[in-house]
Amino acid sequence: MDYSKHGTHKKEKHIRSDIPKAKHKVSFNIFRIFIFALIAIGVMGISAAVGGLRGVLDSAPQISVEDVIPEGYKSFIYDRDGNLLTQLYQPETNRIQKSISEIPEVLQNAFIALEDERFREHNGIDPKGIVRAFVVGITSGDFSEGASTITQQLLKINVFGGGDEDSLLLKFKRKFQEQYLALELEKNMSKDEILEAYLNTINLGASTYGVEAASQRYFGKSCSEVNASEAAVLASIAKSPTWYDPIYYPENNRERRDKTLENMLEQGYLTQAEYDEAMADDVYTRIAAHAEEQSGETTIFTYYEDAAIRQVLQDLQDKLGYTEEQAINKLYGGGLKVYLAQDNQMQNIVDEEYRDDSNFGYNNALGLEWRCSVLEEDGSTSNYDQMTMQYWYWENENAGFRLIYNNADEAWADINHYKEALGITEENTLAETFEQPYALQSSFVLMDQRTGEVKAIAGGRNEKTTSLSFSRETQSTRQPGSCFKVLGCYLPGIDAAGLTLASTKTDAPYTTPSGYTPSNWYSGYWGLATVRYAITQSMNVVTTKFFVEDVTPELAIEYCEKLGITTLTDSDYVESFALGGLTYGVTNLEMTGAYAAIANGGKFVRPVFYTKVLDRDGNVILDNTNQEGEQVIKESTAYLLTSAMQDVVTKGTGTAARLSDGMDAAGKTGTTTDSKDLWFVGYTPYLTAGVWLGYDQSYSMEGQLNETEHEYLWAKIMNRIDSECGYEPTSFTVPDSVGTRTVCSKSGKLVGTSVCTPITEYFDLSALPTGYCSDHYGAYICSVCGGLANENSPSSTYREYNSSSEIPTRQCTCKPETESKTEESTSPSESSTTTPTTEPTAPTTPTDPTAPTPVG
């Protein structure tokens, strides 16, 4: 054997075997680096996720046990004299506190079986439920199955305001915080305490919150007396209080009740015999019968009580920092005592006049409020109402279709035709409601301008049938028309833009730099006009000129917001703003409140419906008894506007609102395009009131009414209040900052020519006029030929002109009369050379010797 060769061979073999080992080593290193990278990325990702989650949890609300327990005390509303008016338990809540020992196990178990079967076992969150919901969502594509525990639901309602987030991201954020707080809450509360809080909190439809109030509402008995079937009915409502309402949607509730009973059977809460008995129970017949018995017993809040409730809820949020849900819980479960600012005598007067159909021109045509829920073939639900019906008629059959009827048969004919076109039948109709209020509607607000107290209101003409229903005086935003000229143009103009009541513009065709061309409500144009005259006669063109050339939208909106107008947007920075052309309109309450600031010497005091709110221990938590208000315009500005608006009532567009008892009154009319809205807002030295008249659907009233009914109604109510409530006739007080001067009625300047017609005008003493009139001219014109009068003119007439270019240049061409005739001519011989009057030497004192001396 050749060992040398063999050794060489072995060496070569060894060298060759090293090559793949080197490659393997490199590959392993790359793999190791890859693994390390993945681990690093994973760690970084986990760290980021943990950091993000920590940030979400750190931002969770700080809560205590008290935050999730409803206070459970009814609140009460009293009149200003302390007489009880109503209890606050309906419609937004009707909670009657019950301890867990008073709630039977069958009712507790019904909620647990349906909502959270492992409630007694988990520590606040249910991992099995989360996994189950996730699997169902992945396999079916339906992620609607809930995994929230009862503890989480309690937090969702009382801490997170019901969880109505705008985005999926916010929903996930709330879910994580909810789960975290659920774990924390269960460290401090027992299961019975959590369940008790939940069963006293949950919304169970028909304006009831908590199992006791719901049991009283549906069964007419305490929750301690319910059987298994009734317990399952209550538990079935919680998921959707409207959809599973056992009164209006019994079939929907029945389906979920059956599921609840099945769960109770499967989870051992019911025996088979108990289950069979519950399934056979005709509970919905009893519910319907009890609802029928209660139909005439429900206490309906008045429009005033509605407004007070809404304002208290808002003030709890704005002044005390409550969330919306906390405010509701406080008002409806905190044992509060609310004292109204309402004057019962004034309210009775308003109510009586609104029940008198003659105040509305006997316009008793009926409107329509119709709603219909329909089950579609795909299992979804569609909702229709009178507005969807109106739009359908407009688009398909009649562009002039209106929801105005003489009787129910006419309305049903339109409804049935609409339903037939859409394929709506009795079989697929789930629910349907039908009402016919008056078509022509109105609202009224009466307030004391000094205190801000709203004394009386009317939210509509019809008898009120539901609590917290739509109220036109506080919730309906309408176009204010010319009522807004004072607020949007003349108030800021006089207060901050150098205008006076004697400032002038020429009423003539006008187009703004942006291309807007206003038109007057009357035909033609009236020439030179002062601010006073423009307000009195509600002149559109002149108002627009003042607004564009002197006031500006920026200044106007700044003032309107200080006057309490909250509905303005960036879209309102336009010329039509001065004429009341607003994007969203304005409520009667805010219009009246703004005018009340003028009546109150320029001091805005917020309109309030209650004087004070006490907690159940008697402590005042909200107080409106001594509102200071804010001086938003000068006292002189307020009086100047008042003086001009007195003319509106005595000789302008609002004479129908003139009071008959000698009381001073000032105000402004407002009529929108096609008379869709009719307004009058005015005041006396004591009270401010606003009235609106129109159709809810903004139909035209042109030609249907005299269009002064609302003004007569305003005057009728105010006259009665003055006489029946003890207000003695008096005049507005002229402040020390206001004085008078004699000026030309045309130009508003100090009288300077013989052509001027002198009038006495009010001015802020810091803005008295200094210039003399030279703005118009006069000449004698031949009554026969129209030329400049001379010695040949048989007779002549003196005429005024706004400019020299308007005066005729042609001389009278009439033939000479006899000498005797000439001597009897009515024209002076010097008139043959009459020329435009030019500015004379300015007089040093007003030319009217009877003019009052300056005040102050």
Mean pLDDT by 10 residues, the chain (856 residues): 43 45 55 62 54 57 74 83 83 73 97 94 84 64 66 85 68 78 89 94 88 93 97 96 95 97 97 97 96 78 96 97 91 91 98 95 92 93 96 95 96 97 94 94 97 97 88 95 97 97 94 95 91 97 97 97 97 96 96 98 98 93 95 98 98 96 96 95 98 95 88 97 96 97 90 85 94 80 89 84 77 72 32 32 32 30
- pLDDT at res. 224: 97
The answer to whether 216 touches 120, Cβ cutoff 8 Å, is no
Q: How far is CA 335 from CA 90, 97, 540, in A?
A: 14, 12, 53
Closest CA to 807 of 832, 836, 782, 833: 836
Which runs of E-coded beta strand occur in 569-707? 603-604, 610-614, 620-623, 630-631, 666-671, 677-683, 687-695
Beta bridge partners of 801: 777
CA dihedral 688, 693, 695, 700 (to 10 degrees): -130
Q: How far is CA 1 from CA 4, 5, 12, 13, 669, in A?
A: 9, 9, 18, 18, 131
- pLDDT at res. 855: 30
Whether cis (ω within 30° of 0) applies to the bond prior to 91 is yes
Residue whose pair of structure tokens reads 């002189």 in the numeric block: 636
- pLDDT at res. 110: 97
Helix, strand, or coil (residue 328): helix
- Which structure tokens are listed for 760? 């006495």
Q: What is the DSSP letter of 616?
A: T
- Which structure tokens are listed for 758? 């002198």
Q: What is the Cα–Cα distance from 602 to 632, expressed in whole angstroms?
A: 6
Q: What is the Cα–Cα distance from 243 to 381, expressed in whole angstroms?
A: 10
Q: What is the Cα–Cα distance from 652 to 668, expressed in whole angstroms?
A: 9
- pLDDT at res. 840: 30
Q: What is the Cα–Cα distance from 306 to 323, expressed in whole angstroms?
A: 20
CA 195, distance to chain mean position in Å, is 38
Q: What is the Cα–Cα distance from 264 to 692, expressed in whole angstroms?
A: 57
Helix, strand, or coil (residue 31): helix
State the pTM of this model: 0.66
- pLDDT at res. 180: 86
3: which residues sit within 8 A by CB, 6+ positions away? none
- pLDDT at res. 15: 40
The answer to whether 381 touches 424, Cβ cutoff 8 Å, is no
Helix, strand, or coil (residue 430): strand
Q: What is the Cα–Cα distance from 542 to 509, expressed in whole angstroms?
A: 10
Largest Cα–Cα separation, the chain = 177
- pLDDT at res. 177: 80
